[in-house]
């Protein structure tokens, strides 16, 4: 059984270490799991009920929702901006939480991971992301965590996929999320 995991990255920067971490997840996905990196978050307008009108939803938001509807699980990568979740990731969660009661998360398994320059690897932002996505209807898998500190130095010359420790940890994260998603799909 194939499981589709949608990866959303909370950093728009081209050289983002969280984007690199997501790229590593795509490469390290176990057999039967497909990690798909959504690239259009920069184009999704800030959530506004006035523009969230059936038949007239802005195309980038509609594309995000369609990708999310086709996913069996979600893997969110959150850096830490001023001690909390980046606006682009929160905005994606807001779009996916609607329409109220029928959002795209719909009880699907969600894991939140990431890396940040600080000594805790973005834990506060990841905790805030878990809270927001849980309220938005996702089934947050609380025991799947990966917070990698010191991103600026750790990944200065090494892509996360080439860091043996990070690759092993990320492989475990994706495999565990795949297991949760597989259980949900089979149910």
> Is the separation of the CB atoms in 87 and 129 below 8 Å?
no
Whether pLDDT at 185 is above 80: no
Average pLDDT, the chain: 95
pLDDT band at 35 (very low <50, low <70, confident <90, very high): very high
- Percent of the chain predicted with pLDDT > 90: 91
Q: Which of 17, 1, 9 is nearest to 118 (CA)?
A: 17
Q: Is the peptide bond before 99 cis (omega within 30 degrees of 0)?
A: yes
pLDDT greater than 70 at residue 123: yes
Amino acid 183: pLDDT: 79
Contact 26, 72 (CB under 8 A): no
- Angle (deg, nearest 10), helices 17-28 and 164-186: 60
pLDDT of residue 187 exceeding 90: no
d(CA 7, CA 75): 5
Mean pLDDT of 81-110: 95
Instruction: Please say whether the structural domain 3-186 has been given the CATH code 3.20.20.70.
Output: no
pLDDT at residue 127, rounded to an integer: 97
Q: How confident is the model at residue 101 (pLDDT cuts 50, 70, 90)?
A: confident
What was the pLDDT predicted at 1? 65
pLDDT tens sequence across 138-166: 999 999 999 999 999 999 999 999 999 99
């Amino acid at each position: 059984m194939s499981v589709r995991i949608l990866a959303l990255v909370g950093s728009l920067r081209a050289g983002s270490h969280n984007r690199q971490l997501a790229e590593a997840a795509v490469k390290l996905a176990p057999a039967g799991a497909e990690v798909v990196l959504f690239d259009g978050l920069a184009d999704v307008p800030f959530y506004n009920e006035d523009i969230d009108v059936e038949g007239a939803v802005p195309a980038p938001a509609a594309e995000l929702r369609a990708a999310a509807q086709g996913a069996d699980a979600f893997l969110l990568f959150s850096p830490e901006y001023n001690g909390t979740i980046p606006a682009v990731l929160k905005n994606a969660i807001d779009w996916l939480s609607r329409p109220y009661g029928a959002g795209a998360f719909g009880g699907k398994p969600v894991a939140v991971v990431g890396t940040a320059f600080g000594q805790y690897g973005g834990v506060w932002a990841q905790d805030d992301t878990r809270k927001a996505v849980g309220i938005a209807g996702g089934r947050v898998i609380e025991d799947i965590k990966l917070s990698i500190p010191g991103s600026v130095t750790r990944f200065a010359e090494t892509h996360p996929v080439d860091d043996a420790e990070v690759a092993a940890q990320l492989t475990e994260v994706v495999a565990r999320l795949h297991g949760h998603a597989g259980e949900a799909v089979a149910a």
